[in-house]
C-alpha cells in the first residue's frame, strides 16, 4: 500500500502560498514514490536531502556577473583545512561582512548547492559573504560544525583590515539547519571574546533564515533588530545592529 501524502500546499502543518506549493509539487511527488528511510540510516537521509537541495538550487536565478567568488581554505582549531568561498560585488567595501552557514539539517548541503543563494544575497546587498563548508553530522560530533563556522568568523576578524571589513560589523548567518550552527558559532565567539569590543557578543548580528514556514512575527522581530525589512522580507545587511538580549521581543500582530 502506498503512503498517504498531504497535498503540496500542506507539506507542513502550515499552509503554503499557492505559488510556493506549485514549485514544491515535484518534491512532494518524488517523496510519495520513494520508500521510507529507515531510522538511523543517515546515508540515505543525506542522499535524499542532497537531491532535494539540488532541485531547490535549480530555482535560483543565474548568479550576477557583478559578483565574484574566490575559493579558500581555512585552518580550524583541530588543524583541518576546510573549504570556504569569499563572495563580493565588484570592488565594493561596505565595511560589513557575513560568515554564512548553509542549510541541510546539519547532515547535508555543501558550498556548491548554496552558491547561487549566497551570490544573490551579495548581488542584492553589496555585502561580502564568507560561505563555510563546515563538517557534517554524524561524522562531525558535538560542537564541531559550530567550531568550523567560528573559524571562519575568526578568519574574517583576523583579516578584517585587508578585506576592508570593520571588525565590529561582522555578522553570522545561517540557513535552516545552518541557523543552529551559526547561533552556536556566535556563542563560541562570545565566550572566547572574539571579534566585538563592545558588550559580550562576538558579532553585530546573528541572522537565522528559517524554512518556508518562518512566520511574519519572526520577520518583524528581525526587522526591529535592523537585519530585515518587515515588509520587504529582504535582509538589510549594510547596517548591522548589535544583537542584545534586551532588544529581542516577539512583536504582536498588527
Nearest to 169 by CA among 226, 221, 118, 209: 226
Which span out of 3-7, 17-21, 113-117, 193-197 was modeled with the highest average pLDDT?
113-117
CA distance 67 to 126: 9
CA distance 237 to 224: 13
CA distance 230 to 217: 9
Q: Say which CATH class 67-247 falls into.
A: alpha beta
Residue-wise pLDDT tens digits, 8-44: 444 456 677 788 788 888 888 887 888 888 988 999 9
- Break the chain into its structural domains and give their ranges: 8-57, 67-247
Output the pTM of the full model: 0.74
Residue-wise pLDDT tens digits, 148-182: 999 999 999 899 999 999 888 888 888 888 988 98
Take residue 85 and report the three cell numbers written for it.
568561498
Residue 176 near residue 210, CB atoms below 8 Å: yes
Q: What is 209-247 written as a DSSP string?
A: E--TT--HHHHHHHHHTTSB-TTT--B--SSPPPP-GGG
Residue 76 near residue 154, CB atoms below 8 Å: no
Amino acid at each position: 500500500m502506498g503512503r498517504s501524502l498531504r497535498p503540496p500546499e500542506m507539506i507542513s502543518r502550515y499552509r503554503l502560498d499557492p505559488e510556493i506549493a506549485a514549485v514544491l509539487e515535484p518534491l512532494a511527488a518524488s517523496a510519495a514514490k520513494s520508500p521510507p528511510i529507515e531510522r538511523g540510516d543517515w546515508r540515505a537521509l543525506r542522499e535524499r536531502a542532497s537531491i532535494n537541495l539540488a532541485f531547490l538550487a535549480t530555482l535560483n536565478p543565474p548568479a550576477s556577473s557583478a559578483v565574484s567568488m574566490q575559493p579558500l581554505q581555512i585552518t580550524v582549531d583541530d588543524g583541518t583545512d576546510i573549504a570556504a568561498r569569499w563572495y563580493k560585488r565588484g570592488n565594493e567595501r561596505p565595511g560589513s561582512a557575513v560568515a554564512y552557514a548553509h542549510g541541510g539539517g546539519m547532515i547535508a548541503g555543501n558550498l556548491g548547492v548554496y552558491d547561487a543563494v549566497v551570490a544573490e544575497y551579495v548581488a542584492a546587498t553589496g555585502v561580502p559573504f564568507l560561505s563555510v563548508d563546515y563538517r557534517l553530522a554524524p561524522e562531525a560530533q558535538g560542537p564541531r560544525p559550530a567550531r568550523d563556522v567560528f573559524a571562519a568568523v575568526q578568519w574574517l576578524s583576523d583579516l578584517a583590515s585587508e578585506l576592508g571589513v570593520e571588525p565590529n560589523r561582522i555578522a553570522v548567518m545561517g540557513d535552516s539547519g545552518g541557523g543552529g550552527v551559526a547561533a552556536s558559532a556566535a556563542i563560541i565567539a562570545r565566550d572566547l571574546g572574539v571579534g566585538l569590543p563592545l558588550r559580550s557578543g562576538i558579532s553585530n548580528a546573528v541572522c537565522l533564515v528559517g524554512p518556508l514556514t518562518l512566520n511574519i512575527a519572526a520577520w518583524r522581530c528581525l526587522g526591529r533588530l535592523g537585519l530585515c525589512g518587515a515588509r520587504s522580507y529582504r535582509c538589510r545587511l549594510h547596517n548591522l545592529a548589535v544583537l542584545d538580549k534586551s532588544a529581542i521581543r516577539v512583536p504582536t500582530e498588527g
